[in-house]
């Protein structure tokens, strides 16, 4: 697990992830995937233009904004900005998942991609709802942080999907590469997220407080607008 600890603390990893998220997000916002080369079957974008465009707006917003939520300097110095970004992230995430539920049955290249994107979307939505539950209802910041790590790992499937596609298209062609990308893009991300969370729980400065302490910290943060918890470093640079 030493590798995971070093990975968590690596600024290089954080900035690489940030650049990847911003790059893929901007690529999505350009609608290049809704170009003439992708409009023919099996990519029938023209049948659902409103849904597709909504997904290609809200998805990149989630991907790009998410990386800033793990920046410790922003988190500690500008907590109000962190909260507002979180609200926009949550709303965009919810809209995107709802849209995808109306699109996944029309996924390209058959049942493999249909099932894969359905599972991905369910996990994406469930992880977000649980994260919201822990911060809004239970007032437990630590559990909220862990579930947001899981949620953003699934969000980063957009990056993993394109990496897998880029590797396998020259070998197997578009159809097989697309199926491999769809079925693998979230699986490895989730495993990595669980390894990170497991390591965070073992690190001395990230151990969870008692439920009473966690509630007290959360109430202070939410009601007073403060952000003083020393363990709450939602950061991929210094911690995650």
Report CA-CA distances (Å) from 91 to 13, 62, 132, 167, 238. 27, 9, 11, 33, 27
Q: CA neighbours within 13 Å on the CB side: how many for 103?
A: 25
Q: Which residue has the higher pLDDT, 38 or 180?
A: 180
Distance between CA atoms of residues 91 and 163, nearest Å? 27
Structure tokens at 175: 């159809």
pTM equals: 0.81
The dihedrals phi and psi of 18, each to the nearest 5 degrees, come to: -60, -45
The per-residue pLDDT for 76 is: 87
Q: Is the pLDDT of residue 178 over 70?
A: yes
Structure tokens at 180: 């491999």
Q: Name the average pLDDT for the chain.
A: 81
Delimit the domains of the chain by residue range: 9-224
Question: Are residues 67 and 17 in contact, defined by beta-carbon separation less than 8 angstroms?
Answer: yes
Q: Is the pLDDT of residue 140 over 80?
A: yes
Mean pLDDT of 231-237: 44
pLDDT tens-place string over residues 43-66? 655 677 788 888 889 999 999 999
Question: Are residues 194 and 151 in contact, defined by beta-carbon separation less than 8 angstroms?
Answer: no
**What's the sign of the alpha-carbon dihedral 10, 15, 18, 20?**
negative
Of the candidates 51, 56, 49, the residue with the CA atom closest to the CA atom of residue 31 = 56
Mean pLDDT of 146-153: 97
Express the helix, strand and coil content of the chain in percent, nearest 5 each.
Answer: 80, 0, 20
Mean pLDDT of 78-85: 93
The per-residue pLDDT for 193 is: 95
Give Rg (Cα) of the chain.
19
């Amino acid at each position: 697990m030493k590798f995971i600890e070093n990975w968590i603390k690596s600024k290089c990893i954080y900035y690489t992830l940030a650049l990847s998220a911003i790059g893929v997000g901007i690529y999505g916002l350009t609608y290049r995937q809704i170009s003439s080369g992708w409009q023919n079957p099996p990519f029938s974008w023209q049948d659902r233009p409103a849904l597709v465009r909504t997904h290609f707006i809200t998805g990149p917003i989630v991907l790009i904004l998410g990386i800033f939520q793990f920046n410790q300097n922003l988190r500690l110095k500008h907590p109000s900005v962190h909260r507002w970004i979180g609200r926009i992230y949550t709303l965009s995430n919810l809209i995107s998942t709802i849209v995808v539920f109306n699109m996944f049955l029309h996924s390209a290249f058959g049942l493999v991609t249909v099932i894969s994107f359905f599972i991905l979307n369910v996990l994406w939505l469930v992880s977000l709802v649980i994260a919201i539950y822990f911060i809004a209802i239970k007032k437990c910041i630590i559990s909220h942080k862990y579930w947001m790590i899981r949620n953003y790992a699934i969000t980063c499937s957009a990056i993993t999907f394109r990496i897998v596609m880029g590797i396998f298209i020259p070998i197997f062609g578009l159809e097989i590469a697309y199926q491999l990308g769809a079925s693998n893009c979230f699986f490895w991300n989730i495993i990595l997220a669980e390894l990170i969370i497991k390591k965070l729980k073992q690190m001395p400065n990230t151990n969870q407080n008692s439920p009473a302490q966690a509630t007290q910290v959360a109430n202070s943060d939410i009601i007073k607008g403060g952000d003083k918890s020393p363990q709450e470093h939602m950061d991929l640079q210094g911690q995650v």
